[in-house]
Structure formats: C-alpha cells, structure tokens
Structure 1
Amino acid sequence: MKYFFLSYLFVGAIIVSAFGFRGSKSELPPIEILPDMDHQAKVKYQAASEFFADGRGARLPVKGTLPMGFEIPAKPAAKGVKPARVAFTSGLGYYDTGKVGDFYGDGLPAEITGDKSVFNAEFIKRGEQRYNINCAICHGTSGNGKGVTSKYGILTAFNFQQPGNLDPANAAAYRADGAIFDVITNGKGLMGGYGGNITLRDRWAIVAYIRSLQLAAKESGVTLPLQ
C-alpha cells in the first residue's frame, strides 16, 4: 500500500513540474478541461456578422415584442384606456397572491369581477387559450390530469375533475381559487412556478377556465372535452 501512495505522490510531482501551480504566470493559453461555457457560439454586442444581409450582429426585437411585465392594451389610448399596470406580482393583496392574510381566498378578485370590460366570455376564452398553452400538456385539455406527459411516466399532475372537486367540504379534492392561483404562480411538487411567464390577469383567467371545465363536466356528467 505504501508503494501506491509513493507512486501517487510521484505522479503528482511530475504533473506539477510540467504544468506549474495554479495561478502561475504563463504566456501559453491555459489547458481547459472544463471550459464552463467560457467560449460560446454567439454574436457579441455591437459586433459585425456576415450571416445577416446588413452585416450587423445586433438585431431589433421581433415585431410585437413587449417589455417584460406589461400587457397589450385591450383598446387604444385614444379611447380612454389607462396605461397597463405592471402585469406580474407586485403586491400583497388577494389579486397578487391568491391569499387573504394567511389563508387562500375563494372567488375571483374585485380587480377582475369589477372590470366589466374584461370579466365576460372573452375572459374565459383568454383563460382557455392560456390554459392550453401552459397547462394542458400535463393536466389534460379537460383538466383530468391526463395530459401528454402522462404518456411518458409523469402521472402526478393534479386532476381537477376528480369527484367532489367543486365541493369546498371535500378537502381531499377541493382546491380554492386562491390555492390554484398560488400553484400557478409558485409551483408545487414537480410543477415549476409560472409567475414569471403568465401575467396576473391571465393566471386568474386560467382559474376561471378551470372552473368552467369543472362546471361543464358536472352538468353533463362527462369530462369535456375528452383527452
């Protein structure tokens, strides 16, 4: 065993003598075993690029791009529409957190129900669109938890259509509106948070759409639409 350690020290001494101690000065480029993404295939700022016809590496944003945190106004400012507020979580109230104090609230916040121009069929339609983009892949188009990912071993997506899901007395199945909003915002279990991807109003629109799916299934006795 002692010869093993002696050999180990001997090999270490050879390496140090050949390459020098860490931090020693040299005009030779370093040997990068783990480059840690120091060199990337990218165009740096204000650099030229022959890939584009105008020779510029820097590109303008895609048409329609908006700064993070703002929404496209429903109507032009000429019609008296107020500038869009910051659309992501910026407060401690029910509208921003889904909570009233330390408890989850139920029902849509006044910021939604009080805006008659938003809280209508178009609001539910918006929720359907956002749900299908962000949620249906795991929770299924009907909210039954059998989305595309369930076919690949991810079987933990919450089933919004399980019996008693609309009954607050059924604690095992029921999720308050604020609780659903909070999970969309912060994530839970294998689900990551979407607070930085989905605006406040769109999160509440998704909550409203989930409720409409549950009500439709309850009234018809069938989970619709079928996955």
Structure 2
Amino acid sequence: MAFDVAADAYDRFMGRYSVPLASELLEALGVEPSDRVLDVGCGPGVLTRRLVELLGPAQVAAVDPSTPFVGAARERLPGVDIRQSPAEELPFADDSFDAALAQLVVPFMADPAAGIAQMRRVTRPGGAVAATAWNHAADGTGPLSPFWRAVSAADPGAYDESDLLGQREGDLVTLFRDAGLADVRQLTLTIEVTHGTFEEWWEPYTWGVGPAGDHVAGLDDAGRQRLHDRARELLGDGPITIVGNAWCAVGRA
C-alpha cells in the first residue's frame, strides 16, 4: 500500500478530508484537558496536531510505521513523543493513556484485530478507545467514493477499497467487541469540502497515495486519460462539493 510518500503529497490528497474529520472526532469524544492521548497511525500528524492544540505536547504521543510520515510529524510537532511503530506492536506499557485513537488507519493495519487489542492494552481501565474509517463500501459515501465510481465506470470490475476491513457498517464495532472493549457504540461522522475546480480535485490522485494513487499509477496514459474524462463527466468542472461519511467506533478499555 502506497503510504511511504512525501508528507505534503498525503496532506493534499487525504489531509483535505482528514483535517475536518479530526475535529469531528474530538468533538464527539469530548477529550478532557488533563487526558494523555495516543494517536495510532498518525501519518504526518493531522489528528496529532489537533490533540496538541487541545492538550499540549506533553500530553500527546503518536506512532506510525511510515518513515517519511514520522519524520514530518516530528518536525511539525516538536515536544511530542512520536515513534515509528506499527499498530500491532505499540511501544508503550499497559495502561499508559487515558485514550487511544486511530483515525483512518484500521483498514490499512496488517492485523486490525491485533491493532485494536494493542490500543486496548495501552489504555487505562475505563479509558476511551476510538477509531474511524471512511464509508468506502461498494455503495459508500466516503470522500473518495466519487473517484471509485469513476473507476468502475471507466474500468468495470477494477479493484476498489470496498473490501478493506473497517469500511463497512458494523466492521469497527465488531472488531472492538471482539477485542473485549466495553460500551461499544457506532457513530457516523460527516465532513464537507468544496474544491474550486475539477483539476484541483483530480490532481492529488496522481501522486501515488494509498489505493487510489496505486490505481492511477498503474494505468497507462490512455487509461489515465479515460479515467480523468469519466470522472469529469460525473463531477463537472467545479466547484465540486464532497460530502463524506466516516464510521466511528468508540469503546471503553
């Protein structure tokens, strides 16, 4: 999966949607000023930054397996304990945090069940564990769903993200309950982003980020132009307003 990319590319591809999602997540959770919180799969630091704004750098820790993302997050957020690590092997002691959060990460964990179990382990009894994932099921309403619909129209039967665990209704809840979390509930978080032009919307898909970037990178010139044109037929010249929904599961350790 293409996440060993420059942080700026990720920011302009997914950051345009994950920044407002981070605010929605923290508003739903009601993080307390005294909480110590872990951001699992922090990427270049979108959710981590919002946590630092609320809590201060000493109260925040973060992990990510991507070398360029960890480097960017450390540069952007001095004073935060940011470590290179997969979710399945969190380098912290039991009960180290009041909350552990994973924004848009579960579908890309090598072992989602192990990742959620680790989040539970490092969270104190009664503390919150939460995760989000875009609704990218086959009939999904995530912010990348218009792109995947264009892919389907241009190349019927092509791979999309709909089979990744966590992106269907109930997936995250099942993972949380299987990990032994209590009081598990599902929320739907919604973001809205307007792109001034079609090209502003399209260009970040050509930068090789994530499954969508993998798909575009694997096309020849004719295939890429066909997808570009099909997407433009579906979305128009702009402005383009993207309304995206994310599943959110919240439980207690």
- Shared fold, TM over 0.5: no
Band of TM-score, shorter chain: under 0.3
Q: Given the two structures, how large is their TM-score scaled by the length of structure 1?
A: 0.25
Q: Which has the larger radius of gyration?
A: 1
User: What is the TM-score with the length of structure 2 in the denominator?
Assistant: 0.24
- Could you say which structure has the greater relative contact order, defined with CA pairs below 8 angstroms and 6 or more residues apart? 2
More strand per residue: 2
Structure with higher helix content: 2
